[in-house]
Each structure stands twice: as C-alpha cells, then as structure tokens.
Homo-oligomer: A and B are copies of this chain.
Amino acid sequence: MNLDTKKPSETLSRREREKLAHRQEILIAATRVFAQKGFFNATLDEIAHEAEFSKGALYLHFSNKEDLLYSIIEDKVDKYVQIVNKILSGKKSFKVELTDYYKKMAAFSFDEKDFFNLLMTQHTSGFSALSKEKAKKLCAIHDKVNEIVTVRAEKAKENGELRDFPPAAVNGLIHGSVKNMMMTRWSFETVEELHNAVDVFINMIFTGIAKEREGYSDK
C-alpha cells in the first residue's frame, strides 16, 4: 500500500508553499492599491510597501507591473465564470437561476469591493493598461459570461418561459443592470438589503414596469 497518498498539490515543500503565500499577499496588496489609485497612479513602491515586501521581491513573482494586474484579474475571473456557469445550469427555472445569479453577484460586490472596482474600471477602459494580447484574453473571459447568459436565455425562450425578444436586447438588459448593481449597489448599505431588492428587480424585468400590459403581443 502506497503511503505517499498526497496529490501533487499536496507535495509542495515548505519553500513552495511559502512562495505561493507570498504571491497571494502581493496580489491582495496590489488589488487594494490598484483599486484605490487606479493602475497608472499606483506605484510599485506603494504596492511593495503595502505587501510588506521589497520592490525587488515583486519581480520574483511577476514579470512586470502589467503582469501583476493581469494576474489579479485572470485568477479570479476564471473562477467566477465557473460559478456563473454552475448557477445558470438550466436545472431550475430561468427566473430562479437568474435570481441566484444576481444575488451571487450582489454578494460578490460586497465581499470583494477592491477587486470589483478594479475589474470594472479596467474593463470599461478596455484594459488599456495591458498589452493588446492580454487585453483580448481578458475580454474573451468576460465575453464568456455574456455568452452563458445569452445561451441560457435562448433556452428559456424555447422552454416557453420568455417572450421573443432579440438576444442582444435581453442580454443588454441583464448585463447592464447587473453591472450597475455591482457598481452602485443601488445605494444599499448591506448585502441583505440588496438581496431583497433583487427579488423586486427580477419581478420588475419579468413582468414589466407598465401598469397596463398594453402593446403586449405574443407573436
């Protein structure tokens, strides 16, 4: 019987484990500084100080300032695509899944403010801090979320849950409002308040804001 049952990820030496930990500390510090000052106003001096490492140490983990920003975003965005994918799996009704999606994003926007501020500003500016190649990669990940939502909406339409609206419009409605929610948190102070608001919001977009459902035509 093999006593060495450790998986590769468990066979990290102390050295390697420490190195990974340091990398994480730097990423967290950099996220905070980037979020507060913006990529261009942030200096490596400040990030190093915040991370309690020397400036030189940053270069042991990241090849340059750009790579630091890229690493911050890539690491997390990947995870979140998976989360979204799981939530919008099609096992429940579209309305329920969409509600879950909004709520997850709401929680996220409270839990990781720094990261989200950073992600939003960088995405809006087209990742102008990054080389074209890296910017494209990140945009691709971002687009993935749009695709997941769109595909799920198509399916809901086929299931008879949704009326027949152009996908760009539906996606624009959802995407725009999620982004808006995450950035402003609709002026709420706590995630619970925001959660409650989500239920109302979902109701709103599903049933419409108009008093009378005039002009409704089920083509």
What is A's interface to B at a CB cutoff of 8 Å?
37-41, 95, 120-121, 124-126, 128-129, 160-163, 165-166, 168-170, 172-173, 175-181, 183-184, 186-188, 197, 200-201, 203-211, 213-216, 218
Closest approach, in angstroms, between the C-beta of A70 and any C-beta of chain B? 16
Q: Which residues of B contact A187 (CB under 8 A)?
A: 168
Q: Which residue of chain B lies nearest to A202 when distances are taken between CB atoms in the complex?
A: B215
Closest approach, in angstroms, between the C-beta of A13 and any C-beta of chain B? 15
Q: Which residues of B contact A37 (CB under 8 A)?
A: 128
Which residue among A126, A128, A207 has the maximum number of chain B CB atoms within 10 Å of its CB?
A207
**Given A40-B40, A208-B213: A177 in contact with B173 (beta carbons within 8 A):** yes
Can you list 15 A-B pairs, Cβ within 8 angstroms, ordered by A?
A: A39-B40, A41-B128, A95-B210, A120-B124, A162-B211, A165-B204, A166-B197, A166-B200, A172-B181, A173-B201, A176-B177, A179-B180, A203-B215, A205-B205, A205-B209
Q: Which residues of B contact A203 (CB under 8 A)?
A: 215
Q: Which residue of chain B lies nearest to A38 when distances are taken between CB atoms in the complex?
A: B128
Tell me the bound Cα distance from A214 to B206 in angstroms: 9
Closest approach, in angstroms, between the C-beta of A161 and any C-beta of chain B? 6
Q: Which residues of B contact A178 (CB under 8 A)?
A: 176
Tell me the bound Cα distance from A216 to B213 in angstroms: 10
Closest approach, in angstroms, between the C-beta of A99 and any C-beta of chain B? 12
Which residue among A161, A168, A181, A183 has the maximum number of chain B CB atoms within 10 Å of its CB?
A168
Closest approach, in angstroms, between the C-beta of A128 and any C-beta of chain B? 4
**Given A161-B210, A176-B180: A200 in contact with B128 (beta carbons within 8 A):** no
Tell me the bound Cα distance from A201 to B166 in angstroms: 9
Evaluate contact between B206 and A207: CB separation under 8 angstroms.
no
Closest approach, in angstroms, between the C-beta of A16 and any C-beta of chain B? 16
Closest approach, in angstroms, between the C-beta of A17 and any C-beta of chain B? 20
Tell me the bound Cα distance from A169 to B185 in angstroms: 10
Which residue among A38, A169, A187, A204 has the maximum number of chain B CB atoms within 10 Å of its CB?
A169
Q: Which residue of chain B lies nearest to A163 when distances are taken between CB atoms in the complex?
A: B211
Closest approach, in angstroms, between the C-beta of A211 and any C-beta of chain B? 6
